[in-house]
Structure 1
């Protein structure tokens, strides 16, 4: 399922069903980019068997945002523009000025755009209206916000909140390393990054390396703070948390997979079973993680995203 998680909050027991949400999203159904479009973005059916644009399993919603981008490197545009500018200079006897060069570049872009290659990508969005979570499978907040912009536009008074905790993730991770003690239910793994708060921004990274408490304390005492830390929750899920609370490298561990046998099921049943397993465990992980960070300070998001 998800490899990354950018996390947001919804009011618990958000009163909207899958059919209503699908109707709101229908005008934003994905359409292929036109000849003169650099990009097209919209919602697609999460599964071919999905009933509309929202796939529901056990009161959990799954959305899929698809993006088509034209691949038109600026180096190609600039090269063709220079060739055209040289031809124009030969015709008129003097090099084109700034305004003329800009117009040439726009003309070249318009000519090349219909012939550009395209790249399709998609992003999962999980909505838990029961426990109040919205999670985007993205490694960056900027990409996740592309989905949020569409949701704000589609859903009237979409009640989304950013997740701000009592203790900042960076400060909490630094404390865990300094005390050599992870919060209850978690263990610290072998990857971390510490960065200086000084202007130098000096950075130390450990990758698949035993974390020695004394060494880490020395770095912390010199003004470094933990910006990334690999953790395992309940011996079931490993992940890496960043200082902005984004989660990456999510992996279900063997102990969890072994207890989840779906042999003999068809693809749709396996998919739904995996989705139920993933969301059920991630709900618990998020609850424990927020508790370890002191709880949530609600902060409504602005629709101007």
Structure 2
């Protein structure tokens, strides 16, 4: 249940739906098995998997948990190309002529259509946290592109949704560089980790370092040469560790031992659904508080114009 990554979005407007109405909207866009001719499909699934039956929404204390299921057939381009090349060679040998580009394009479409039903299907679940009190959406996706796909599905399910990526007054790169170079500038509850990515202003590329002392002379010399921190590992008051990215994405999330122990000792009666909801609300409350703290460290939130619903 515990999120590994987080892309954050500010909600500007969304339909005011009850829990039952939202559940119905998700059900109407539920994940369905791929048809033989389908290359990919995206729909809502139960966050608890099979244990959750068809319950696609969990709402606790103003926090909503949703899960999207992406299914796609794996048909490598190299496999299609090999089959097309073989058919082209056969045609050219038997008819004594060159196959035109138009014919090759048609053959490629035909081969893809024939091979697609036999391709393996890959499934990937992506969890969504919706904080209705603070009007935030967090998506547990490794890339922003995948997160945007989930937002498109949510927008389609709701009928309208206006959001923008969460942004701060101080650019994360500027703040991270300052914290890295000046220990006195670091907030009291912030501790640096052992991972950093430093970008050069010119064409000197990116330097990545892991398991290093970020207060070492070597790191300071790199900063003095003009490099800036684009990723920085940090710990927030011992409750949450993460790698902050320059676009305000939170990656490699790890929750503190005290929080995990609290979840382990919760009285859920060995009920899998109760355990899921306990883990979720503990995680959501911790994330909500720490995101507010992080944004304060970054000078507050930037007020952005909402995109069209």
> What is the TM-score normalised by the length of structure 1?
0.93
Secondary structure of the equivalent of 1:164? coil
Tell me which residue corresponds to 2:36. 35
Name the CA shift for 1:46/1:255 in 2 (closer, same or farther; >3 Å).
closer
Following superposition of structure 1 onto structure 2, how do residues 105-254 of structure 1 map, counting pairs within 5 Å? 105-181=108-184, 182-201=186-205, 203-254=206-257
Cα distance in 2 for partners of 1:22, 1:205 equals: 44
Tell me which residue corresponds to 1:283. 288
Note if contact 2:231-2:244 (Cα within 8 Å) is conserved in structure 1: yes
Q: Which is worse superposed, 256-265 or 7-16?
A: 7-16
Name the CA shift for 1:255/1:26 in 2 (closer, same or farther; >3 Å).
closer
The Cα shift of 1:15 comes to 4.1
Cα distance in 2 for partners of 1:184, 1:197 equals: 30
Cα distance in 2 for partners of 1:52, 1:106 equals: 39
Tell me which residue corresponds to 1:44. 45
| Unaligned residue ranges in structure 1 (runs of 5+) | none
Q: Does 1:8 align with 2:25?
A: no
Note if contact 1:12-1:131 (Cα within 8 Å) is conserved in structure 2: no
Cα distance in 1 for partners of 2:308, 2:53 equals: 28
Note if contact 1:188-1:231 (Cα within 8 Å) is conserved in structure 2: yes
The Cα shift of 1:167 comes to 0.3
The Cα shift of 1:257 comes to 2.3
Q: Which is worse superposed, 79-88 or 15-24?
A: 15-24
Q: Which of 288, 295, 304 is the aligned partner of 1:299?
A: 304
CA deviations over 1:67-99 (Å, ceiling 9, x no partner): 111010001000010110011112211120111
| Unaligned residue ranges in structure 2 (runs of 5+) | none
Note if contact 1:180-1:213 (Cα within 8 Å) is conserved in structure 2: no
Cα distance in 2 for partners of 1:271, 1:160 equals: 27
Cα distance in 2 for partners of 1:156, 1:71 equals: 31
CA deviations over 1:126-162 (Å, ceiling 9, x no partner): 1010122100001110000001111222223323232
CA deviations over 1:198-242 (Å, ceiling 9, x no partner): 1232x2222111123543332122221101111111111111111
Q: Does 1:273 align with 2:274?
A: no
Cα distance in 1 for partners of 2:14, 2:35 equals: 40
Cα distance in 1 for partners of 2:161, 2:171 equals: 26
Name the CA shift for 1:171/1:14 in 2 (closer, same or farther; >3 Å).
farther
The Cα shift of 1:13 comes to 11
CA deviations over 1:79-127 (Å, ceiling 9, x no partner): 0101100111122111201111111111111110111111111100010
Name the CA shift for 1:139/1:265 in 2 (closer, same or farther; >3 Å).
same
Secondary structure of the equivalent of 2:162? coil
The Cα shift of 1:282 comes to 0.5
The Cα shift of 1:303 comes to 4.7
Name the CA shift for 1:266/1:288 in 2 (closer, same or farther; >3 Å).
same
